[in-house]
Structure 1
C-alpha cells in the first residue's frame, strides 16, 4: 500500500496559529492563548516546523502548487501597529510565505483506490475508511471538526469516537453526520445512498426547489439514492464487499452484475428485458466475473456469449435445435 503523509492535529493547529499571528492586528488575548498552547512540547515542535517551512519559502517559491496558492492571496500593504511585538511584526512581513506554508499543511488530503482493488486508510483520529475499487475521498481535520468528501465510488467508514469533533461526510448534495459509528456511503455521479451498520447517523439531502430533507438512521436502515423514504438494509450485505466477496440473496441479476463489474476486467452484461430482473443468489469472490457469469447462466438457464469487446453477455437460451 502506498504510504500517505498526513498532517497531525498539532501541525494543523500550528499552521492556523501561524496565519493568525501574521495579522498585525493580532490581539494580546490571542497572543496569551498562543503562548499557553505552545507550552505543550508537541505543539512547540509543530510550530517550529512551520517556522522552518516559512524560512524555506524562497526554495518553495518555484513550486507550481505554491505559485497557484499565492495567486489566490490578496496582496495588500501591511500596516504595522506600534504596539505589535517584534516577532509578530516579522510574521506580518512574511504574510505571503506564511499563507503558502499554511496552505500546504491545511490542504485536504486525498486518497483513492486502484481501479480493480480496495484500499484501507487509517485517518489521524483513528477512524478507518475502506475504499471500494476506484473510489476517491478527501479529508480535512482540525481542532473543531473532521470533514471528508466522497468524490466518487463507495466507502465504508468506521468512525472513532470524538464528541468534541463531529465527523461529517459530504457526497454531492448529501451530508452525513456521525460521532462514533459504522456506515457505508455510495456515490454515482449525482446520486448518493447511505446505509448504517452500527451506531446512529443523521443524513441530510439537498433538494432542488424545496427544503432539504433530513433523517435519523438506526442500525439496519438506509437512505436510497432516490432520496427516501428510509428503508431497511441488510448490514451483512452492505459491507461484504469490504471483505472481497459478494453475497447475493435473491437480488436482480442486473444489480448483481453491476456489483461484480466494480472489480471485473471483463464486464458482465445482461440482455435487456425481464431477464435482467431475474433474482440471483450465491456468494462470489470479487474479481471472479467469469465464475459469476457461468454460475448465473446455469442457475437461470441462460447462455453466456462473448461480445466483440470481450464482455460476457448473459442471454436467454434459444429454442433447442430440431433433430432431423
Structure 2
C-alpha cells in the first residue's frame, strides 16, 4: 500500500524538482543552457545524462526553449508519450492522460505510449494525443498559445465550458456550470490570468449567465 502511494505521489509530481503554484508561473534555467517556463500548477523533473537530456512534465504546462546539443537529444516525457526537440521552442500541456503539443520554432518528434509516432511536427502546428490515440497535426496561431507567458488568456469563439475549464486552472477551487443550456455559449475575449474574478464578471455582463461565488473555492454559473 505504501509503495503504491509513493508511486502515485511521484507520478503526480509531489517530489518534482520544480513546481509552480496555482495561478503562478516559474522560469527555470537548466544546466545545458535550455530554459523552461512553467505555467500555473505545474511540476517538472530533470534527468540529464551523458547520452540524453530528459525531463518529465508530471502535470500542467511548460514552454521549452532548447539549447543545441546533437550528441544529447532533449526529450520531454509527458506520461502519455514523449516529445523530442529538433532544435526547438515548443509548448507542452499535460492534463492527466491528455497531452497537447504546440511548436513555436522549428520542429519536434511526437510519440505516444502505444508506439505511434509523428516524425515531424512543424512550426505553427499543434497535436493532441493520449496513450492510445495520436491525433492529427493542425495549423494554429502560436501567439494564442503563448499568451499565458504575457499573463493573458485568449479565447476566439470558444464555448463557455472550455473557457471555464481554462479559467479554473488559474484559481483554487472549482467553477461549475449548473445549466447545460449555457455550456456552448461562444466567448471571444482576452483576459488577464491574474484576476479570474474579473473574467467571470465580464462573462456575466456579456452573456445570459449568472455567476454566484460561494465561499473562496466554489463558483456556480447558471442561466438567467
- Tell me the TM-score range normalised by the shorter chain: 0.7 to 0.9
The Cα shift of 1:183 comes to 0.8
Do residues 281 (structure 1) and 185 (structure 2) align? no
Determine the structure 2 residue equivalent to 1:240: 147
In the alignment, what sits opposite 2:11? none
Judging by fraction of residues, say which structure has more strand: 2
Q: Which has the higher contact order (CA 8 A, sep 6+)?
A: 2
State the distance in 1 between where 2:37 and 2:216 align. 31
Question: Retained in 2: the 8 A contact 1:205–1:214?
Answer: no
Aligned to 1:304: 211
In structure 2, the residue matched to 1:158 is 65
Mapping of 1:1-324 within 5 angstroms?
110-207=17-114, 211-225=115-129, 227-265=134-172, 267-307=174-214, 310-317=217-224
Counting matched residue pairs gives 207
Q: Secondary structure at the match of 1:161?
A: coil
SS in 1 for 2:61: strand
Q: Which residue of 1 aligns with 2:10?
A: none
Post-superposition offset of 1:139: 0.8
Return the offset for 1:312.
Answer: 2.3
TM-score (norm 1): 0.59
Equivalent position of 2:4 in the other structure: none
Work out whether residues 22 and 172 of structure 2, in 8 Å CA contact, stay in contact via their aligned partners in 1: no
**Structure with a larger share of its residues in helix:** 1
Return the offset for 1:216: 1.4
Change (3 A) 1:230 1:274: farther
Shift of 1:188: 1.4
Q: How many angstroms apart in 2 are the aligned matches of 1:158 and 1:287?
A: 24
Distance in 2, matches of 1:225 and 1:212, equals: 10
Contact residue 173 and residue 206 of structure 1 kept, 8 A = yes
Q: What is the deviation of 1:309?
A: 6.6
Deviation, 1:234, is 2.2
TM-score relative to the length of structure 2: 0.84
How far off is 1:274 after superposition?
3.7
SS in 1 for 2:162: helix
CA RMSD across the alignment: 2.1
Runs of 4+ in 1 over 6 A off after TM superposition: none
List alignment gaps of at least 5 residues for structure 1.
1-107, 318-324
Q: Which structure's CA Rg is the greater one?
A: 1
Change beyond 3 A, Cα 1:191–1:162: same
Task: Spell out, residue by residue over 1:96-116, the C-alpha distance to the aligned partner (whole angstroms, 9 max, x if none).
Answer: xxxxxxxxxxxx971111233
Secondary structure of the structure 1 residue equivalent to 2:113: strand
SS at match of 1:237: helix
